[in-house]
A = this chain, B = another copy of it.
Amino acid sequence: MALIVLKFGGTSVANTERLFNAASIAEKAWRDGEDVVVVVSAQGDTTDELLQKAAEICPAPPAREMDMLLATGEQISISLLCMALYQLGCPAVSLTGWQAGMTTDSQHTASRIRYVEPGRVKKELAQHKIVVVAGFQGVDEYSDITTIGRGGSDTTAVALAAALGAARCIIYTDVDGVYTADPRMVTGARKLDEITYDEMLELASMGAQVLHNRSVEMAKRHRVDLEVRSSFTNEPGTLVREETMESRNVSGVARDLDVAVISLTGTADVPGIAYKIFDRLAEEKINVDMIVQSAAENGQKHICFTVDQEHAARALELIKRQGDVEYRDLAMDPDVSKISIVGAGMAGSTGVASDMFEALYEQGINIMFISTSEIKVSVIIKSEDTERAMQAIHDKFFG
């Protein structure tokens, strides 16, 4: 008998009908003889309603009390889902984060899971109950309730799957898997049957938004087989694992619009320029994504980098105020987008990058700059070219 962990997000438990849908998915697995653990998020708008209540009282509430408040959202979901399971004739038991042994540090509203003590979960499974666990929450060493921030419930599910040695962790969501590109944007985009952790991480960081990176990183670290699946169809989705059966050159094409380019032209060709710039930005917690520095020419070099749009103006200002970096021109361009191709087999293959550049050339799209890694090639282009670029690149690799 295998153990599986199922995770349902807020939209998948938003009302009575959807709760019964989630319950019947768990019921089916249970009747098939699986040991079933279910992790759920707060229902639909619950978290927003609770945030609203807090905002009315206190503009900056203490983080500990926010956690106390927000944790009720998942506690409501787990009890209601158990009631639905009970109504379907399945024995079920709900457990809060602390009851499930989800132990975190004390960084309220953004805690890290330190370890899982799944004794109670195992005990209930041994009685062949469906165990329904509150996602997103845990307890710290002081017995205080914590929440684990963005992507929390996915991370709870993966952590439980790791601690219990589950055969698989299935993340139910409102899409039916991971696609070669966003199907709302690219004609011919198709669902992938499988993808590696690393590919998924690259895709997620570019805004694929199917799985939160944190949960994928944890799955990778503990070798948990993850699956993304639609709660509406319950058809096989996309499996995320260490290695895929066949490593593809390119698994997907992604775009990121939340990017701005900052360019310094004509800086001196002396050591320490890059250090001075990026150390200052790091001090201010400004995250720099791509960095490209050209080879020096006539004793001058050019440095370009990208930051997210929120921090672009601030980054520009910091460099301007910095006395020890000289340059001829400093410019910021927010009207750009980053297009990337991701594939675990890319490193062992030739011509992948040039195929991408060819597709862009055929469309007459200018590449502002390029950055590559083992499993990814990213280019910065003008944002107005984004859709044409996506379609052309996708056609080139998957057409």
Chain A, 9-38, CB within 8 A of any chain B CB:
16, 19-20
Closest to A53 in B: B80
Separation of A62 and B81 alpha carbons in the complex (Å)? 12
Task: Tell me how far the C-beta of A393 lies from the nearest C-beta in chain B, rounded to whole angstroms.
Answer: 47
Chain A, 50-65, CB within 8 A of any chain B CB:
50, 53-54, 56-58, 61-62, 64-65
A75 CB within 8 Å of chain B: yes
Across the interface, do A65 and B86 meet the contact criterion of CB distance under 8 Å? yes
Give the contacting residue for A82; candidates B62, B86, B143, B145; CB below 8 A. Answer: B62
A78 CB within 8 Å of chain B: yes
Give the contacting residue for A99; candidates B50, B80, B83, B143; CB below 8 A. Answer: B143
Across the interface, do A58 and B75 meet the contact criterion of CB distance under 8 Å? no
Across the interface, do B80 and A93 meet the contact criterion of CB distance under 8 Å? no
Closest to A142 in B: B120
A75-B75, A76-B53, A143-B120 are contacts. A84–B68 as well, Cβ < 8 Å?
Answer: no
Q: Please, which residues of chain B bring their CB within 8 A of the CB of A94?
A: 64-65, 68
Across the interface, do B69 and A54 meet the contact criterion of CB distance under 8 Å? no
Chain A, 239-274, CB within 8 A of any chain B CB:
none
A64-B93, A93-B64, A143-B120 are contacts. A80–B84 as well, Cβ < 8 Å?
Answer: no
Across the interface, do B84 and A57 meet the contact criterion of CB distance under 8 Å? yes
A71-B75, A75-B71, A143-B120 are contacts. A80–B64 as well, Cβ < 8 Å?
Answer: no
A300 CB within 8 Å of chain B: no
Q: Please, which residues of chain B bring their CB within 8 A of the CB of A79?
A: 54, 65-66, 68-69
Across the interface, do A19 and B57 meet the contact criterion of CB distance under 8 Å? yes
A107 CB within 8 Å of chain B: no
Across the interface, do B83 and A57 meet the contact criterion of CB distance under 8 Å? yes
Separation of A123 and B11 alpha carbons in the complex (Å)? 41
A87 CB within 8 Å of chain B: yes
In the complex, how many residues of chain A place their beta carbon closer than 8 angstroms to a beta carbon of chain B?
36
Task: Tell me how far the C-beta of A16 lies from the nearest C-beta in chain B, rounded to whole angstroms.
Answer: 5
Q: Please, which residues of chain B bring their CB within 8 A of the CB of A71?
A: 75
Separation of A64 and B99 alpha carbons in the complex (Å)? 14
A309 CB within 8 Å of chain B: no
Most B CB within 10 A of own CB, among A64, A75, A79, A86: A79
Give the contacting residue for A76; candidates B50, B78, B84; CB below 8 A. Answer: B50
Task: Tell me how far the C-beta of A369 lies from the nearest C-beta in chain B, rounded to whole angstroms.
Answer: 47
Separation of A56 and B81 alpha carbons in the complex (Å)? 12
Closest to A82 in B: B65
Binary contact readout A88-129 vs B (1 if CB under 8 angstroms, 0 otherwise): 000001101001000000000000000000001000000000
A72 CB within 8 Å of chain B: yes
Separation of A61 and B71 alpha carbons in the complex (Å)? 22
A16-B57, A87-B57, A99-B143 are contacts. A72–B82 as well, Cβ < 8 Å?
Answer: no
Across the interface, do A54 and B80 meet the contact criterion of CB distance under 8 Å? yes
Q: Please, which residues of chain B bring their CB within 8 A of the CB of A66?
A: 79
Closest to A144 in B: B99
Closest to A23 in B: B57
Separation of A19 and B58 alpha carbons in the complex (Å)? 12
Separation of A79 and B19 alpha carbons in the complex (Å)? 27
Task: Tell me how far the C-beta of A280 lies from the nearest C-beta in chain B, rounded to whole angstroms.
Answer: 35
Q: Could you list 27 A-B pairs, sorted by A, with CB under 8 Å?
A: A16-B53, A19-B57, A20-B57, A50-B76, A53-B76, A53-B80, A54-B79, A54-B80, A57-B83, A57-B84, A57-B87, A58-B83, A58-B84, A58-B87, A62-B83, A64-B93, A64-B94, A65-B79, A65-B82, A65-B94, A66-B79, A68-B75, A68-B78, A69-B83, A72-B76, A96-B145, A120-B143
Given contacts A50-B76, A57-B84, A72-B76, 8 further A-B contacts (CB under 8 A): A16-B53, A20-B57, A54-B83, A57-B83, A62-B86, A65-B82, A68-B94, A69-B80
